[in-house]
Structure 1
Amino acid sequence: MAISLLDTIRVLASFDPPRGSLRGAPWEEYVEWAIAHGLAPLASYNLQYRLPGVDAPDWVRDRLLSVYSGSVNDNVMKLVNFKRCVDELEGRKLLLMGAASFADTLYPHVAFRPVLELQLLLKRMDVDGFAGYLAQHEFRPEPNEPPHGALKVVSDGRTAIFLYADVLGAERRAEVQGIFERSHPMKMYGPSLFRPDLEDAVLLVCLEQAREGYQVPWLSFVDLRELMTGAKAMGGVYSRSVDGAVLLERAKAWKLERALYTSLSIVARLFPETAEALGPALPPLRRATRELLDRLVVQPASEPGKMSHVRGSERLRRLLTGQ
């Protein structure tokens, strides 16, 4: 029986991949897909060290290994340079979100989680001041329109830094303040850097996915998988069980119940072993709403290459994000 692209993805995106042959896997399709979706470094490690006898062609191993090596170097360069910039910054509270926050808390090796850009949540009054501070370290404003939700993007030509504020909208600033109050220090980056609490991190990932219309690299769903299952491969701040009641209460307050339902449903379809653990965290939406989200988003987003902007996608995005 032929091995499907989705089956190949599941095996090579696992932190504990099942042993068995991958002979006949759609390697031509998989390799390019894995590189585009940020999963090539993890796949390379699995093929080299965890699954040495799965009958993967030599060219597959070589191609993925080159991406793995590049990911190591690129991540180290970006994170060390960022540390040098902010290590002595005092008197501020900046929250590092996304890839840079997850690489050392969810993934057994920093190379497994490519850091394409840095994402920081700030209080609105601190955005311009911090952008000015970064300008002293050769970070200049990017001319292009910032992505959904970001106020500014600055870059030194190698690393882009996205600056966010009021991520839940101006009418929910109290909820954003709660994210700051619950955050945890990141001492490795100095006294001003923090990361969101677990339940907040889950919802911020769901918010980002929804704002992008779920046209995101599948690496984002691996992030969410590990957040929701307690980062068992690690022993850090996110290595605990999600408090389902808190998550649901916070999703309601943030008006992200639809986004939470959609994101968790996608993860459960992509990685069926998580379905039982994720079930209690699914918001109790109306049946008609669930069926609409399943048909328009969950099903197409769970099949490689099938997700595309649907008619009225901007309206759907606002529906998902409570805006």
Structure 2
Amino acid sequence: MPLSLLDTFRVLASFDPPRGALKGAPWDEYVDWAIAQGLAPLAAYNLEYRLGPTAAPEWARDRLLAVYQGSVNDNVMKLVNFKQVVDELQGRKLVLMGSAAFAEALYPHIGFRPVLELQLLMRRMDVDGFAGFLSNHEFRPDSVPAHSGATKVVTDGRTSVSLYSDILGPQRREQALGIIDRAKPMKVYGPSLFRADLEDSVLLVCLEHARQGYDVPWLSFIDLRELVTGAKWMGGVYSRPLDIPALLARAAEWRVERALYTSLSIVARLFPEAAAEATAALPPLRRATRELLDRTVVGPISTPGQTSALRGLERVRRLLTGQ
């Protein structure tokens, strides 16, 4: 029986894919979709080094492998350059979030997780100072609109850096400061760089999903899968079980319970092996709310290959972010 696009995704998004599981895979459909969703690097590695050269047609392997090689080079360039810039910065507490914080903490190889931009959270009073510091390294204000509420965005023409302060909105500045206070050191980037705690990282991913109306690359659901299941392959800072009471308490404080429910429900549908951990962390929403979210967001978003936007996107955003 031919594999579905979802079946193919599950195999190639695994860190330990089963051999012989791709017979009849829809390669014509999968390859372009996977590249657009940021999945190509991990898929290419699995095809070349885990599943063997006969698992996919040569043209599919070649296209995915080219993206993988480009991702490795691009990630190394961005992250090494950033390290050189911030390595000796003293006296600050800057929290690296998103793809740059996840690439080496959640994935067995840094090239598996493309880093499109750098995102940093800091106290409001530090934004202008850090932007000025970056200006000494050829970073200038970006001409594009600020991403997802970033206070400031700068770029050196190769790497975009989004600087956040009130990431939870002006009414929840105290909770945003809590993220900074709980952050863990990232010594590889010097004394001023930190990464968000595990439970905060889960909620920040879910909040980003909601603010984007779930128009996000499927790679982000792999990020969330690994956070929820304790990054079992890595033995690092995120390799522990979720503190579910703390997670749910913070979700209530941030008013992101609906976003948490939605994102975890999508992960449970996409990855059967992560369903138990994801379901255990679901917040206790009213039944009517759960059914609405399942029908209008979870079901449609969990269908790969869908290209149309969710109906009533602004309403969905407001519903999910508690606005």
TM-score normalised to the size of structure 2? 0.97
Distance 2:271 2:173 in 1: 34
Spell out the pairing of 1:54-133 with structure 2 (5 A cutoff).
55-133=55-133
| Deviation per residue, 1:19-46 (Å, 9 max, x gap) | 2242321111111111111111100111
SS of residue paired to 1:16: coil
Contact 2:213 2:310 in 1 (8 A): no
Distance 1:171 1:64 in 2: 44
Contact 1:94 1:194 in 2 (8 A): yes
Spell out the pairing of 1:1-323 with structure 2 (5 A cutoff).
1-52=1-52, 55-306=55-306, 308-323=308-323
AA aligned to 2:82 is: F
* RMSD after superposition: 1.2
| Deviation per residue, 1:84-140 (Å, 9 max, x gap) | 111111111100000010011100000001101101111111111111111111111
Distance 2:192 2:21 in 1: 48
| Deviation per residue, 1:50-77 (Å, 9 max, x gap) | 1116531011111111111111110000
Structure 1: stretches of 5+ with no match in the other structure: none
| Deviation per residue, 1:182-239 (Å, 9 max, x gap) | 1101111111100000000000000101100001000000000000000001011000
| Deviation per residue, 1:261-301 (Å, 9 max, x gap) | 00000011111221112112001101110111111110111
Distance 1:309 1:124 in 2: 34
AA aligned to 2:203 is: L
Distance 2:311 2:62 in 1: 41
Distance 1:306 1:244 in 2: 32
Q: Percent identity?
A: 72
Distance 1:21 1:166 in 2: 46
AA aligned to 1:200 is: D
Distance 1:260 1:69 in 2: 34
TM-score normalised to the size of structure 1? 0.97
Distance 1:53 1:311 in 2: 42
Distance 1:170 1:207 in 2: 15
Contact 2:11 2:22 in 1 (8 A): no
AA aligned to 1:141 is: P
Q: Where has structure 1 moved over 2 Å in runs of 4 or more?
A: 305-312
AA aligned to 1:113 is: R
The 3 A distance-change label for structure 1 pair 160 and 180 is: same
